[in-house]
A and B are shown apart, each in its own frame.
Chain A
């Protein structure tokens, strides 16, 4: 499973906008490159990334070839109630990588 790093604040005040950051280690091979022998390197990318907060989707991206390696996303989330923030990356061959962090709203 690819290595991921996520950052969600441990606690937040209700109504605050908190910054969420997520990065995954992935080559994001675009399929247009050739190796040293001239053979095309097959495409190998992550196709979907989504984030849910307490069960509801808050952020979702469809990734295409041409994005740089180790895609990194940062966005803001309005803290309303305590709940898990789940991250989900889907590889082109269907491999799912997940990560989760609890956000406590005070």
Chain B
């Protein structure tokens, strides 16, 4: 290939990138701050403790599932992917992402289930079940310290727009949108509790209130109930779209799974 052509292609590439960035006209409304920074020192300490962090129990369980060959196809996750430490590094930063197989944007849980269905010949792990939380936490934690960077252009653009609309839509008896608290009042207090930006970089999280792990979708449902709105079912497209928008809002925040929150 001659040099001129390479230069033209490179320019075209840059233009396309800019066009894509501007087309989505997109900068988050505020500088992302991890939920970690809104926690009390005690909670932060528990998260940082590489032994006492309760989320690690689920991560360990996830490792067992990763290596489990007792499935219909006889192939564990590790049989194809190999060592998760290298194979799954950075994966969680990219989800939710558009899936060609599914034809829409899916989150990490759904990707794991898709893999399980098609390559292991097993039924889906139910949403919010212990094994799904464990394997998701295990896969996510491999990206610890890497910045979130989801794609919101191309086939994911539509989903992103829906998620954005959801975030700014007032709902429930209290008539509050996500943005009313998590954007306009992040850092303020609701009685004794500080309001975070609602970032997702630590999910699945160990939440003291729940005394267990919870996924993004459980958190969304909880938040929806808190403003007295009817929550959507876990794994619904509405929540996946919202997750995509939220992950994009936290673009550049480092993954800290398994995070501990109050």
Contact = CB atoms under 8 A, between A and B. Distances in A.
A23 B211 contact: no
A33 to B, nearest CB: 10
Question: Which has the most chain A C-beta neighbours within 10 Å: B54, B58, B61, B208?
Answer: B54
Given A69-B211, A69-B212, A3 B52 contact: no
A25 B57 contact: yes
Contacts of B52: 21, 23, 72, 74
A23 B212 contact: no
Question: Which has the most chain B C-beta neighbours within 10 Å: A7, A23, A68?
Answer: A23
Contacts of B56: 5
Interface residues of B, number: 11
A5 B212 contact: no
Contacts of A42: none
7 contacts: A3-B57, A3-B60, A3-B61, A5-B51, A27-B211, A27-B212, A72-B52
Nearest to B210: A69
A46 interface: no
A4 to B, nearest CB: 8
A7 B51 contact: yes
Contacts of A21: 51-52
Interface in A51-98: 68-70, 72, 74
